[in-house]
Amino acid sequence: MTHVRELFDLTGRAAIITGGGTHLGTAMAETLAELGAAVYLASRRRELCESAAGQMRERGFDAAGAGCDVTDEAQVGTLVDRVVGERGRLDIMIANAGGSFTTTYIPEASVDEFRKSLDLNLTGTYICAQAAARVMIPKRRGKIITLGSIHGFLTADKRFYQGLKFRRSGPPYQAAKGGIINLTRSLAAELGEWNIQVNCISPGQIPRADTDPAMVEKARMNNPLEVVGRPEHLKGAVALLASRAGDWITGQNVVVDGGWSIW
């Protein structure tokens, strides 16, 4: 019987984390590196990814930065080819790149913003998953982790944001994240025969350093634990889903929100 510590060991594995240069992406990359994986942090902001990877190397981790626009199939393919060329494998793909672009709301909403949100969040996730699957299928193993949100299955209460210096996500973001959650289920069904597990992590409110303090406090009091969400709160879920410990988990949406969504 395998010891539980061995189940989480990622020594010798290779991973890509899109949107890896800041915030949640960096925390997830650190998780995999701490477990022994070689990690590639990638985003359109190559400099940020290279800087974050450099800081990880200073701590003794195997990390590299790369530029990649996840909405561009050729760029994603080039990134995957680089990892396979340098490591001989790709074991883990975390499709984290995304964001909210909401500046206008119904009934005067921008359709272009809707398309942009779908493209970056949903289409980008699809492109990354497909590129990873192409190299994982011949090996008959792999882990694909997508990033949803509590707003992928809950809408945003406009009243919560009143008086705050924080622009709430709107229908485009919520539609895109909802699509990612169900896309994850579909990918899990399609890829299961090749022993590839596909799961989604849906974070709750995890403020950035420059978030309005009033927003941070309101978010803290809006979950039962009354604890501010931090990027490292995702580490446990990432470790489980990226490792052999999660080999019999697929097609799931793992909610990490301090209990926000239970009431």
DSSP label at residue 44:
S
Nearest CA among 126, 16, 134, 124 for reference residue 70: 124
- Distance in angstroms (rounded) separating the CA atoms of residues 130 and 95: 11
- Distance in angstroms (rounded) separating the CA atoms of residues 116 and 101: 8
Check the CA dihedral 175-179-182-184 and report its sign: negative
263: three-class secondary structure by DSSP: coil
Query: Could you give the C-alpha distances from 77 to 12, 122, 171, 183, in angstroms and in order?
Result: 22, 17, 30, 20
Catalytic residue among 40, 105, 161, 173: 173
CB 152 within 8 A of CB 174: yes
118: three-class secondary structure by DSSP: helix
Active site residue 126: no
- Distance in angstroms (rounded) separating the CA atoms of residues 126 and 146: 9
Residue written as tokens 């272009």? 112
Q: Which residue numbers are catalytic? A: 173
